[in-house]
Structures are given as C-alpha cells and as structure tokens.
Amino acid sequence: MLEIIGKVDKVIGPVVHAREIDKAKMLDLVEVGDQHLVGEIVKLNDDRAVMQVYEDTTGLAPGTNIYSAGVPLSVDLGPGLLGTIYDGIQRPLEVIRDSSDQYIQKGIHVSALDRERKWNFKPLLEVGREVEGGETAGTVQETELIEHRVLVPPGMAGKVSWVAPPGEYTVEGVVARIEDQAGLQREVRLYQRWPVRRGRPIKGRQPLSIPLITGQRVIDFLFPVAKGGTVVVPGGFGTGKTMIQHALSKWSDADIIVYIGCGERGNEMTDVLMEFPRLIDPRTNRPIMERTVLIANTSNMPVAAREASIYTGITIAEYYRDQGYHVAIMADSTSRWAEALRELSGRMEEMPADEGYPAYLPTRLAEFYERAGMVETLGEKAGSISIVGSVSPPGGDFSEPVTQHTKRFVRCLWALDRQLANARHYPAISWLDSYSEYVEEISDWWQERSGGEWKEIRREIMDLLQQEGKLQQVVKLVGPDVLPDTQRIVLETCTMFKNAFLQQNSFDKIDMYCIPQKQIKMLQVILDFYKLGLENIKKGANIHQLKKMEVYSDIMRMKFSVSNDEIKKIDEIRDKLSRSMQRITEMFE
C-alpha cells in the first residue's frame, strides 16, 4: 500500500534529498513527485533521507510528495523472463517502448511479467505433504528449451492443503496452498518477488568440478572456468571483450544466460538488441533467446538504473539456479557499472577513495561475485551461477581500481592484449598475463574425456611455452638463425600452437565453436609434430624439411577445414603426419 512518507527537499541529478521523512527504512523503494519516479532510499538520518532515482529527474520540484509501500527494490520471478529484454530495474523495454513516444517515459509502471499470458501448469505436489521453500510445486514449459520449475518461495513451509488442477494459469494464478505452522493458508503462485540486493538462500555450497565449456580453445584449454566460477576480462577499447562475452552467450554450455549490457559505445547495446533475437543455439537449433534474459543499459538511461542492473541480473540468475539450472552471467562492462556508482557517490558528496570511486567499491564488487557458485538448492537440486565480468580500464591500464579490486574476488583472469588485438590474433587473450585457478578442479572432467591424456598434454604444451619464452630472449638478441634446429622446433611448434589452435575466428562458421574432442585431437597432432619432428632433427633432418611437408598446411588449416561433426578427419591428418615424418626418418637411416 502506497503511503506518503515525506517531501522532496533538493534534487541533484539522480540524487534526491528528502525531508519530513516518516516510517521509511533503508533501501525502501520510493516513488518521487507527481510523476511517481521510481527510486530507492540509500541514506537515512532522522527525518531526512537520500534517494537514488532511476529516472530522469528534470522538472522534479522541491516540496512534492514522496510515496512508498515500505518494500525494497524487488524483481518478479516467474515464467516469461526468458526471451525478455529489461532495463536495470526490470522494466521490459518492448512494453516501455510501445507505451510511450519517448524511449522511456517517466514514472511508467509496467509489470515485468506479462499479467495476461497463460501458462500450462502441471502440478507436482499432493495434498497433505509437508513442503519447504525451494521445492518444486509444478512445472510450466516456459520455452521449447526450458522447463520452468515453479518453486515454493523461500521461507514458506507447511502442509499442502490444496493443489490446483493442471491447466492454464496466468503468473498471478494460485497453484497451491500451504498451511503453515500458525495455521495460516499461504499461496504459491506462478511467480514470486525477491529483493534484488539480497542473495536468495541456498542449502549449501558445493565444490566446483565441472568446466563451463565455452568452445573457445584458449579458454577451455589454457584458462578454463568452472561452472560456478568467476572470471574477469580486462581489456582496453576494441580488444574483444564484447566479442568474448557474445561468444560465451552463444556457445557456452550453460542452460541459461543472463546478459547484462552496459554499452561502451552508443550503438553497442543496439547491436545486442538486434543481434541476439536472431541467433540460433547450435546444439538445439532453437533461438538462443529461449534461454536468455537480456538486461540493457543504454546511454540515455539514468545512472541509478545502471547501478541496479547487476543486482537485477544476478537475482534472476539465482532464481533459475534454484530451479536446478546452470546459469552464466555476462556483465559487459562492469567499469560502466562502477562509474555509475562513482557518479552517484559524488552526487551524494561522499568522501572519494581511489580515482574518485567510493570507498565501498570493493565491498560492492565482492558482494556481486560472491553470489556465483555451485550450490545445493533449498529444493536439493544442483545449480550454479558462473560470472564473467569485463572491465575496460581507461587507457588499457590494468592497475586502475576496478580491475585491481575485481581481481581480488575472482579466480580466473583473461587479460586482453592490445598487441595481439592489433595483430588480429583473436581472441586476444594473453597466454602470459592470464590465469585460471580452476585447472586442478576441472582436470578430472577432462581426463575422463581424453582417455586420460589431458593433464599430460597440458603439461607438455605449458613446458613448450616456457621453453619458448626463454628462447625468445635469445632470438631478440641474435635472431633465430643461430639457434640449433632442436630449439627452433620449439619455436615452430609454439607458433603452430598459437596460430592453429589459440587463434580462433568468431566469424568463421566452423571455427567459431570448437567441441572438447576436437580440441584434444588438435593438440595431439600439434604435439606429434613436435615429438616426431624433434626425433627427425636429432637424426639429421632440418626444420625446413618439416615445414615443407604437405601435411604442415593441413595442420595449420584443420580448425577451419574440420567441422565438429567430422573430427575423425583429424585422425587422418595425424596419420598423414606420422607417414610424412616416417619418410623423412627413412632419408637418414
């Protein structure tokens, strides 16, 4: 119930000071002025309050009323989230656009979920059963790809007293009643609400052990992320942050994607809004929007909405995790989010810390990344949230606060390298500056799928890269020609590894996505080239003979020429390599 809780005192951009405040709490949602602009109480002191407002405050006059229902900023969670594009406080962009001339009309109140649309509900509870929050009350086929599990809201518990028959219900439809300990009848609906700044409860955290397969070789092989893990992708302008997050949205094996876009360039979000609805999921041949929720912050939206957007996004992610899904969040770019935080903090005249960011920047970052993880849900399902956040350090300088603080809270870093990007080596993930702390945790998964070879393959490749690093020092001083061929083959193999394996073209139909089995086979060929080549060199062959083999170009091209469903062809290349090497051996026997 909306009540008047105070009056506008002064307006500083998105920050509104209030007086004569009565009955308000921290983080209560407010509606400000005659236009009912949506905002949130962020400071409270006696009868004075400071609010951040999610809409343009132009024209807002001191003395006008502030209203509140005494509830925190919350989101609607239920069927219909998938495929929808929202702003930072979960207003569907389509609806806002249709209902106003301007891009976003002020104070518009639209529901996040379509209140009229009907869903075919199948109950799973029986009358008389004891249930707790988090259990599945029934299901709805939300999209072709995703079965929506209608959950008993967290905190509700008791005996089922009534179950709705199977049939068509709107999101507000009551599908079960539960009698709680006090004898009250509590209603389970197709949707529930949850405050965005509070993590949804879980039964417990689980160890991470399964990789999030991305189909991007440099990631899956060198710097893997586990399902439930966290990654930061720092990179200067144009080094490929957005491309990587798009690739993961399209190809990673998460069940659900939540994409939070804070556009860097004016038209970047528009590209996402145009492109995503057309993309087809390669594994299911269905539109990827059927498993995606998009949260878009365009540059004409107020900063407070951008600040809220990552909480809106992660709360939606938690809701699907609680249904037993593996969710991946892409936040691009978190620098834009941190700048929103900085701007709001500045308007509130808070004491600035590093580079003008508020002193609580690290706390906020930690709170966000801590909501990732592999969990046992309240309903005893396994679910996970992985977070990939990009950072765009001004001037590409990774020592700035957002990059530095984020690094403390994540366990994997894909450092984008300007020189690689300039050389059009994409993804421009530096193999020297990047790291993943998930390698041990996920290595059993890869061992099982590589006939027990993965660890050894990785060790051998890492060893070669290390040797190469040292040899490059020599090459810098005196050039490659002085190196003996036993060392030049190390350089050649590393070049092959970088060009034929690490480099991957997101625009090539075959190369854009590489399944794990193809990755392993490619690596085996590259290592064979090294081992057989080295033996031959020791027998008297030279590096040029190895590079002149016809199969050499087959290897360099295999990422483009062999598609994921015909990877046996790589075995043929491997056999051909072995025969060619054998012929060279014979020349020296």
Ligand X SMILES: Nc1ncnc2c1ncn2[C@@H]1O[C@H](COP(=O)(O)OP(=O)(O)O)[C@@H](O)[C@H]1O
Task: Pick the closer one to ligand X by CB: 414 or 529.
Answer: 414
- The minimum distance between CB 268 and Mg ion, in angstroms, equals 6
**Is residue 264 near Mg ion by the rule CB under 5 A?**
yes
Task: Pick the closer one to ligand X by CB: 416 or 491.
Answer: 416
The one of Mg ion, ligand X, none whose footprint includes residue 239, by CB under 5 to 8 A per kind, is ligand X
Terminal alpha carbon distance of the chain: 92
The one of ligand X, Mg ion, none whose footprint includes residue 237, by CB under 5 to 8 A per kind, is ligand X
The H or E element containing residue 167 is strand 167-169
The one of Mg ion, ligand X, none whose footprint includes residue 189, by CB under 5 to 8 A per kind, is none
Task: Pick the closer one to ligand X by CB: 61 or 507.
Answer: 507
Task: Pick the closer one to Mg ion by CB: 241 or 364.
Answer: 241
Residues numbered 224-263 forming contacts with Mg ion, rule: CB under 5 A: 241-242
**Is residue 580 near Mg ion by the rule CB under 5 A?**
no
Task: Pick the closer one to ligand X by CB: 237 or 360.
Answer: 237
The H or E element containing residue 63 is none
Question: Which token pair is 463?
Answer: 């060893």
Q: State the Cα torsion 67-36-312-95 to the nearest 10°.
A: 150
User: Environment class of residue 395 by beta-carbon count within 10 Å: exposed (0-12), middle (13-18) or buried (19+)?
Assistant: exposed
- The minimum distance between CB 382 and Mg ion, in angstroms, equals 33
The one of ligand X, Mg ion, none whose footprint includes residue 177, by CB under 5 to 8 A per kind, is none
Task: Pick the closer one to ligand X by CB: 323 or 504.
Answer: 504
Instruction: Report the side by side order of strands in the sheet with 167-169.
Output: 147-151, 136-141, 119-123, 167-169
Task: Pick the closer one to Mg ion by CB: 241 or 326.
Answer: 241
- Tally of CB atoms within 10 A around 589: 6
| Residues found near ligand X in the complex (CB under 6 A) | 235, 237-243, 264, 426-427, 504-507
The one of ligand X, Mg ion, none whose footprint includes residue 435, by CB under 5 to 8 A per kind, is none
Q: How far apart are CA 332 and CA 527, in angstroms?
A: 36
| Residues in a beta bridge with 17 | 10, 50
- Residue written as tokens 């060392």? 487
- The minimum distance between CB 390 and ligand X, in angstroms, equals 7
Q: Tell me the residue nearest to Mg ion as measured from the CB.
A: 242
In sequence order, what DSSP letters do the residues of 169-231 get, joined into one string? E-TT-EEEEEE-TTS-EEEEES-EEEETTSPPP-SEEE---SB---S-HIIIIIS--BTT-EE
**Is residue 297 near Mg ion by the rule CB under 5 A?**
no
Task: Pick the closer one to ligand X by CB: 505 or 542.
Answer: 505
The one of ligand X, Mg ion, none whose footprint includes residue 550, by CB under 5 to 8 A per kind, is none
Burial 42-66 (b: 16+ CB within 10 A, else e): bebeeeebbbbbbbbbeebeeeebb
The one of ligand X, Mg ion, none whose footprint includes residue 240, by CB under 5 to 8 A per kind, is ligand X
The H or E element containing residue 132 is strand 130-132
**Is residue 315 near Mg ion by the rule CB under 5 A?**
no
The one of ligand X, Mg ion, none whose footprint includes residue 315, by CB under 5 to 8 A per kind, is none
Q: What is the binding site for Mg ion (CB under 5 A)?
A: 241-242, 264
